[in-house]
């Protein structure tokens, strides 16, 4: 039998191969063209910006003006869609399972993305199922105390806590919240024991009890505690960032006033589902960066004691990874569990 190569010369085989590859090439071209066209024409319909917290919450306060400005910037309506419950996990799950086309976005605080998944049984993975778009704020917490607590800085508070282990109490907005983790990190680094008192009713109930002297301490946002500080009903012991808060220039950081290396800050950010085309992620990130540079937006953020934190998607992804790993270790080491 003659060799098939001699029976079918290469000149004849080439067209056969080409015909076999034509359907595959056409399908690939169609997919690539559709993807490119979709990204280039984005957006061509309204966009949902989902978050998982109550109306009037910090993330809601930032989401609404951002949605209004994005509407003008992108030429399509951006609608805030609130899906509250389960510490933000309902909204996170919804976005994680949405089509990666840029029409469903998530606004979320750092604790919901980096801490909550270590405490709740969730069906998504914060590191795998989201495309970080842009960090929109950065803020330090403030450690405040009831006037009956004589400590004025971190050094004095640590001395008090060591003298009476487990005697001092601190409230928080819930187990696994950023404020709770700030307290756990303080205790771990200082080698002290304090009793954590979580409040299911949120920050208002905790602040009420702190002012009433039913708990001794609390880590919270400056925007929440500032009226109490100004009225003299509470006093500040320290801020949790690496530098002093511009709104509290006379209050030292916890790191500089007795606990070197201590640092924990909150943030808010915008995410898309994983797999969203890079062109769309970049379009959104650039638009948000432009909006955050506006003077009136900066002033609005300042009224909430928040700082603008421009970032690229890569920088934001790095921040998420750092906090996700750090909070996960802290939760495991402290044995934090939902009650």
Residue 15 lies in a domain: no
What pLDDT is stored for residue 28 in this prediction?
A: 53
* Separation CA 174–CA 338 (nearest Å): 9
Give the DSSP letter of residue 252: P
CATH number reported for the structural domain that contains residue 150 in this entry: 3.40.190.10
Residue 239 has pLDDT above 90, yes or no: yes
Domain boundary among 199, 224, 239: 239
Number of domains within the chain: 2
Residue 150 has pLDDT above 80, yes or no: yes
**Half-sphere exposure (CA, 13 Å, Cβ side) for 301?**
22
Q: How confident is the model at residue 216 (pLDDT cuts 50, 70, 90)?
A: very high
User: Which range of residues forms the domain containing residue 203?
Assistant: 140-239
CB 221 within 8 A of CB 266: yes
Which of 62-76, 154-168, 212-226 is the least confident region? 212-226
Query: Do both 285 and 222 map to the same domain?
Result: no
């Amino acid at each position: 039998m003659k060799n098939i190569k001699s029976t079918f010369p290469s000149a004849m085989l080439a067209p056969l191969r080409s015909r076999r590859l034509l359907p595959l090439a056409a399908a690939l071209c169609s997919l690539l063209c559709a993807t490119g066209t979709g990204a280039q024409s984005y957006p061509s319909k309204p966009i949902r910006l989902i978050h998982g917290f109550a109306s009037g919450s910090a993330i809601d306060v930032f989401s609404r003006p951002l949605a209004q400005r994005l509407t003008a910037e992108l030429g399509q309506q951006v609608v805030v869609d609130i899906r509250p419950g389960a510490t933000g996990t309902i909204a996170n799950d919804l976005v994680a399972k949405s089509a990666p086309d840029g029409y469903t976005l998530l606004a979320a605080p750092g604790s919901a993305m980096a801490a909550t998944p270590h405490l709740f049984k969730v069906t998504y993975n914060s590191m795998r199922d989201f495309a970080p778009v842009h960090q929109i704020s950065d803020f330090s917490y403030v450690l405040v105390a009831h006037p009956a607590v004589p400590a004025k800085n971190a050094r004095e508070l640590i001395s008090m806590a060591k003298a009476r282990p487990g005697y001092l109490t601190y409230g928080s907005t819930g187990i696994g919240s950023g404020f709770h983790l700030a307290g756990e990190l303080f205790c771990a680094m200082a080698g002290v024991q304090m009793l954590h008192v979580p409040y299911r009713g949120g920050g208002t109930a905790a602040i009420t009890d702190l002012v009433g002297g039913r708990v001794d301490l609390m880590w919270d946002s400056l925007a929440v505690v500032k009226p109490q500080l100004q009225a003299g009903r509470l006093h500040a012991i320290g801020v949790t960032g690496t530098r002093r808060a511009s709104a509290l220039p006379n209050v030292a950081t916890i790191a500089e006033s007795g606990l070197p290396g201590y640092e924990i800050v909150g943030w808010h950010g915008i995410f898309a589902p994983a797999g969203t085309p890079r062109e769309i992620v970049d379009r959104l990130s650039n638009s948000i960066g432009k909006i955050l540079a506006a003077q009136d937006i900066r002033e609005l953020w300042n009224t909430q004691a928040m700082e603008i934190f421009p970032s690229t998607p890569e920088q934001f992804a790095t921040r998420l990874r750092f906090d996700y790993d750090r909070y996960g270790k802290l939760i495991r080491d402290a044995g934090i569990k939902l009650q």
